[in-house]
Structure 1
């Protein structure tokens, strides 16, 4: 049994429905290589589900990506699903291989993107170390947020059926 305490997170002023999601450029990793890519390049091709998650190897990351992989939301249309965490490209490549994922993951070790989105979270007991809160943003082709979920406690996970309904509503 995992031994952890549920912790309430402070309120946040995060990007929300109707807002334009901040654009960014970071290394985008797949199972073979990585290269710098902009979020706007992805949304120009159609809607994007942007999933912020804890560092690779942490159980919430594994749980979230297993659930998303098993639901195969991208199979029925032009939806692109990408993730973002503080983990480096090497760790992302390993997570993709271990989980059998067909998703690409942005690497943001300085956590600047999460800060721009209003979802940075300082890790207890680790001075100067932060990661994104778990969060899901469904963006249209102009980066308008169509759906937003941000964790308000740790650990916390999105209502996957609610995310699926938002995707179906595009």
Structure 2
């Protein structure tokens, strides 16, 4: 059993349904390589599921990505992640999980701050990561669905996300 305390997170003014999601360019990583890609490049090809997650190796990241992989969300739209992990860490994480999904590397958490979901890491002064969050975006980057963690650890209602995903695609 994992030993951890559930921590209530403060309210946040995050990107929400109806908003236009901020565009960004970061290294987008798969199990072989990475390259700078913008979010708008991805949405130009259709809807995108943007998943913010804790650093690679943290049990919530492993759990979330295993669930997304097992549910096959990428069968109907582009699914990408964002975390503070480096491209090297992402490359290993993607390969170890057998994921067909790519992950944006954002070590400074600038994207998390821009989305209003920065989460200071307990016991690590000056270090933050994004809260767990899921945003479904249409081809204009308009947010069709938003879920942001209200406690740590917290996980999306996967069935609710799938319902929103089906309505979007």
Q: Quick check: TM above 0.5?
A: yes
Partner deviation per Cα, 1:61-119 (whole Å, 9 max, x = no partner): 000000000000222x3x10000000000000001011000000000000000000000
1:104 equivalent to 2:114? Answer no
Deviation at 1:43, TM superposition (A): 0.1
State the distance in 1 between where 2:11 and 2:72 align.
31
State the distance in 2 between where 1:68 and 1:14 align.
23
1:68-147 equivalence runs, <5 A:
68-75=68-75, 77=76, 79-147=77-145
1:51 maps to what in 2? 51
- Note the residue ranges of structure 2 that are not aligned, 5 or more in a row: none
State the distance in 1 between where 2:31 and 2:73 align.
19
- Note the residue ranges of structure 1 that are not aligned, 5 or more in a row: none
1:40 maps to what in 2? 40
- RMSD across aligned positions (CA): 0.5
1:162 equivalent to 2:160? Answer yes
Deviation at 1:124, TM superposition (A): 1.0
**TM-score w.r.t. structure 2 length?**
0.99
State the distance in 2 between where 1:74 and 1:165 align.
14
